Amino acid sequence: MRDVSIIGGGPVGCYTAYLLAKKGLDSLVLERNPSVGHMVVCAGLIGTGAFHRFHLPRGPVINQIQDMTFFSPSRIRFSYRTEKPMAFMVDRREFDRDMADMAMSFGAEVRCNSLVRDIRVREDCVVFEVKGPEGRYDLRAKMAVVACGFNPPLLERLGLVSPTEWVEGGEAVLDVDGVRETEIYVGHDIVPGSFAWVVPMGSKKARVGMTTRKNADLFLRSFLNNPMMRHRIRSNNPEINVDLIPIRPIEKSFRERVLVVGEAAGQVKSTTCGGIYYGLISAELAAETAEEAFSKNRFDDHILRKYEQRWRRELGGEIEIGYRFRQIFSGLNDKQIDRIFELLNSDGIAPLIRNRAQFDWHKDLILALARHAVMGKYLGPISLLAKGLIQ
């Protein structure tokens, strides 16, 4: 019987296995795809703070992000530049494989082509029904960590409620000309209530994508055919990958012998839908809680609820404020968004942004904008919510 089996071989699952293996626990990662890093929908941007905090591998870094230009519906620009890189772009396939190698270097096992078809919690263990290359088999572990991304059916089998709100993320890797910095586009003609991104990868390639409530494939193809994009694209009939991304956490991320981490728990930046940094934080807290459970040989709710208390203390306010910001922004019309861009370029707000903006932590900037005399007209309700969250 294994100590811990982890469902999902993405960065969060592999980092959890790495931490558990370092603590001396027998850890197994079950990855449904034929290889780690297969078919990933992600812009590949990870804040530099994550690399410092978690000592992440630098080999997969293919670009650094210091310049971003935002475009309003009528193409008003707001440019933002930092003295040092705010984020790194990584080759996600290589990054995921390096994270798996980290886990295996400490004795964890990563098993691909292993789809968890069912999971059952018993008094003395967790039973996984796995479909592998040679057929189905049962596997037992003292604990399970669910790190497989947005997967409502699996959570339902565990008696947990999956995230209730999500968006579609669509992305393509394209041959392009003239993309030298990260570009962000908003407006109802691009994608209603959300945003599109163009992120340079070097060598005349870029990741182009967007999040939207639905029809991400259709909206993204329309964006690629927009005159401002079409003349720069050299790829013909690009492949678009689409995935679902939760934007609110689940109500309960644990039960006896089970912890849920990362996107599976809805632990993502609800503003941008980035999930790696928050997922790695939760992996640390899950490993810390699991170590305590094994030291006491107790895997009940009383012990495992500490995991939820810990991650909500660190991430809960950020996620909720970001979600409220997304709600308000999605309700603005194009004229209002243009007005906000005019304000962003004004002398009073641009310095505020440069002083408060952080790539992975958005709450302080959102609240500062909400308290601003003019910007508060659009974001003021967030300040009222924040009083209850941060007291």
Q: What is the pLDDT of residues 299-347, one digit of tens each?
A: 999 999 999 999 999 999 999 999 988 988 888 899 999 998 988 887 6
The pLDDT assigned to 38 comes to: 74
Residues 173, 293, single domain; the answer is no
For the entire predicted model, the pTM comes to 0.93
Asked if residue 68 is part of any domain, the answer here is: no
What is the model's pLDDT at position 381?
60
Domain identity same for 20 and 145: yes
Last residue of a domain, one of 245, 270, 303: 245
Long-range contacts of range 302-307, CB-CB < 8 Å, 24 or more positions apart?
A: 304/254, 304/255, 304/256, 304/257, 304/258, 304/259, 305/254, 307/253, 307/254, 307/259
In the block, residue with structure tokens 């991400």:
216
Q: What average pLDDT does the segment 170-180 reach?
A: 91
Percent of the chain with pLDDT over 70: 96
Last residue of a domain, one of 245, 266, 299: 245
> Is 141 a domain residue?
yes
Domain final residue pick, 270, 299, 315: 315
More confident residue, 6 or 234: 6
Q: How many domains does the chain have?
A: 3
Can you give the CATH number for the domain in which 212 is found? 3.30.9.10
Residue 278 and residue 220 share a domain = no
Query: How is residue 347 written in tokens?
Result: 């002398």
- The shares of helix, strand and coil residues in the chain, as percent rounded to the nearest 5, are 40, 30, 35
Task: Note the pLDDT tens digit of each residue in 19-76.
Answer: 999 999 999 999 999 999 776 767 789 999 999 999 899 999 999 999 999 999 999 9
The 8-class DSSP code of residue 86 comes to S
The pLDDT score that the predictor gives to residue 115 is 96
Q: Which of 180-194, 317-331, 341-355 is the least confident region? A: 341-355
Residue 258, in any domain of the structure: yes
- For 96-117, the pLDDT digits (tens) are 999 999 999 999 999 999 999 9
- Higher pLDDT residue, 48 or 378? 48
Q: Has residue 74 been placed in a domain?
A: no
**Would you call 356 helix, strand, or coil by DSSP?**
helix
Contact 116, 136 (CB under 8 A): no
pLDDT at 347: 67
**pLDDT given at position 159:** 95
Average pLDDT in the 192-202 region? 91
Mean of the pLDDT values across residues 119-132?
A: 96
The reported pLDDT for the residue numbered 389 is 47
Predicted local confidence at residue 375, as pLDDT: 79
Q: What is the pLDDT of residue 54?
A: 93
Structural domain range at position 178: 166-245
Say whether both 103 and 15 belong to one domain. Answer: yes
Report the greatest alpha carbon distance in the chain.
65
Q: Do 100 and 28 share a structural domain? A: yes
Residue 373 forms part of a structural domain: yes
Is a pLDDT exceeding 60 seen at residue 391? Answer: no
For residue 388, the model assigns a pLDDT of 46
My answer on whether 331 and 385 are in the same domain is: yes
- The pLDDT assigned to 237 comes to 82
CA–CA separation, 198 and 185 (whole Å) = 9
pLDDT value for 390: 44
Task: Identify whether 69 is part of a domain.
Answer: no
Amino acid at 91: D
